[in-house]
Amino acid sequence: MNSAVIILIAAAIYVGMYMAYGRKLQSKVVKADPNRPTPAHKLYDGVDYVPAHPMVLYGHHFASIAGAGPIVGPAVAMAWGWLPGLLWVWFGNVFIGAVHDYLALMSSVRYDGKSIQWIAGKLMSKRTSMAFELYVWFALVLVIAAFAAVISGIFVGTPEAATASLLFLVVAVILGYLLYKVQIDFKVGTIIGIVLLIIAIWIGFQFPIVASKQTWYIVLGLYIIVASSLPVWILLQPRDYLNAYILWFGLILGGLAFIVVGLKGVGTFTAPAFTTWSANVVGGKPSPFWPTIPLVIACGALSGFHSIVGSGTTSKQLDNELHGLMVGYGGMFTEGFLSTIVIASIAIYGLQVFQTMNIPVDVNNWGQQYAIQVVKNGIKVGIFSKSYAYGLEDAFGIPFKTGAVFASLWVSAFALTTLDTATRLGRFAWQEIMEMVHGPEILKNKWIASIILAIFGIYMAWGGSWLIIWPAFSGMNQMLASIAMMTASLWVAKVQRPEGAWKWAVVIPALFLWITVTAALVWFLVVIKPGFWVSLITIVGLLLNLLLVVDWYAAWKKPAEEYATA
């Protein structure tokens, strides 16, 4: 297969489905109304509820949901060959992931920016909401711990990225001040921000900051407390918006590079298209593609974390209901395109990376050894960044070292935005839990809520204890996706009541996802037999999932007239 063909097919799928399927969802299911005031206007507070320019919000949302997920998942799933993972990314993204993200965002907009957990309680029962909230808060602690560890590792290994990332924060504050206080023209502000961004990257290459991993833990801990508590327009909005330019630039550059190498005749896939139905993937054991694939590929196809972002920070900043399609639905498509580039790059250069690192993986043992060796050698991200750098070198003559550093900067930009957004979301979840249990006012304070979350997250990262229970996270994350999708299906069927068969465009994927994730977690418990804590977390997740489906069915049987429109 030629990489140019794959990249162009992906672009055609995403553009075509956005114009056709996405717009139908907008008009037939969500019934978006540009004249209906959004929570950002109705509840404006200058801190969390702040209307944002659609491009700024798209940048914030995309940068927040991306993380390292759309890179790591497809990279590991290459054990089944490049074709199965690619099909899951494309079809899972279009019919489940993007629908899930868009509806989580828009249902939240209709309920004053409340979280998807709160909406589950509204449509089903209070016990569902409380269990969902606790589950989300704990999951976010794990996200903070994991991403703090990932970013610290990148900063230690690539100090150029550390300097540039710190300077990005200064640039973001300058841009936020220019846009919201000086009220400079948006285009002029964007140009100034991008120029400063380029200067920051140049300074990063000239003056790399060398520090220990523990030092970066402390810096990151302080940063996320401040970033999640400050008004969103000062740092979070402009920083994510500027970061998005790095991400877009990397995407466009990568897309063009793999078209060019395809046209040059050096972009032929050398990895096998298909190895075996049960390649050695999860825990290094034979893993059937279905149902285990959602445990391996998350963000590129579908991810529960996205529903928390969409109904957490994004819904509170949406300026107009019509912007939701580009932000929520389009943001997910952008991730799918990124995952397509990951798969194409490894399919071309993966074998070359293994050979240069003396890792014993070839075409014949790919299905048995690929995932095992990728995990063993710690190159779940590295195999992509090296393959990407080879692609830039072959396409445009960009030196391999420069391409590899840029890829690291790219990944750290994804991870840093996810880290501070996760802290802000965890603060929201904590405050909602305190409201439910009528906790002391001091514990509802945004600074206190952020500090509690940061202490737990950084503590788990520092001692490495998150590694013990991290294997359960992919299951927890996809369980969140299942719960969010089931909640969205109820909202569509009972509250939105679309004409014709449109409600089934949401209900059928929701049921498919629930069955798939439940089956995958049962398989995980029975076949992989993880340790005590991972097993305990997985069992708790399965019980929550069963509780949800019972409450979902009870709500489904109620007449639609019992649900007020929102």
Gap between the terminal Cα atoms of the chain: 48
DSSP character string of 256-299: HHHHHHHHHT--B--S-S---TEEE-GGGSEEEHHHHHHHH--T
Residue 69 structural domain: 3-563
Dig out the tokens for 78 from the structure: 């290459």
Asked if residue 14 lies in contact with residue 337, where contact means CB atoms within 8 angstroms, the answer is yes
The Cα–Cα gap between 331 and 340 comes to: 15
Dig out the tokens for 394 from the structure: 């072959």
The Cα–Cα gap between 201 and 489 comes to: 44
pTM, to two decimals: 0.89
Q: Which residue has the tokens 């990376």?
A: 353
**pLDDT interval class at 262 (50, 70, 90):** very high
Q: Is the pLDDT of residue 105 over 80?
A: yes
CA–CA distances in Å: residue 134 to residues 372, 432, 502: 33, 10, 32
pLDDT of amino acid 192: 93
Range in 278-287, 298-307, 362-371, 471-480 the model is least confident about: 471-480
Look at 537 and 41; give whichever has higher pLDDT: 41
Instruction: Write out 401-412 in H/E/C secondary structure.
Output: HHHHHHHHHHHH
pLDDT of amino acid 161: 82
Q: Average pLDDT of the chain?
A: 89
Q: Is the pLDDT of residue 533 over 70?
A: yes
| Phi and psi torsions of 357, nearest 5° | -100, 5
Number of domains in the chain: 1
**What does the pLDDT look like over 343-390, one tens digit per residue?**
999 999 999 999 999 999 999 999 999 999 988 887 877 888 889 999
The Cα–Cα gap between 100 and 107 comes to: 11
Q: Which CATH number goes with the domain that contains 62?
A: 1.10.4160
Segment of 69-73, 83-87, 530-534 carrying the highest mean pLDDT: 83-87
Q: Is the pLDDT of residue 80 over 90?
A: yes
DSSP character string of 5-24: HHHHHHHHHHHHHIIIIIHH
User: Assign residue 423 a region: left if phi > 0, alpha if psi is -120 to 50, beta otherwise?
Assistant: alpha
Asked if residue 377 lies in contact with residue 359, where contact means CB atoms within 8 angstroms, the answer is yes
Percent of the chain with pLDDT over 90: 54
User: Assign residue 464 a region: left if phi > 0, alpha if psi is -120 to 50, beta otherwise?
Assistant: left
Dig out the tokens for 204 from the structure: 């990063």
Q: Which of 35, 39, 41, 60 is nearest to 113 (CA)?
A: 39
Q: Is the pLDDT of residue 153 over 90?
A: no
Asked if residue 367 lies in contact with residue 21, where contact means CB atoms within 8 angstroms, the answer is no
The Cα–Cα gap between 413 and 291 comes to: 32
Q: Which of 438, 358, 435, 328 is nearest to 60 (CA)?
A: 328
The Cα–Cα gap between 115 and 4 comes to: 41
Q: Is the pLDDT of residue 540 over 80?
A: yes
* Residues ≥6 apart with Cβ < 8 Å to 183: none
pLDDT of amino acid 566: 57
pLDDT of amino acid 36: 96
The Cα–Cα gap between 1 and 8 comes to: 13
pLDDT of amino acid 307: 94
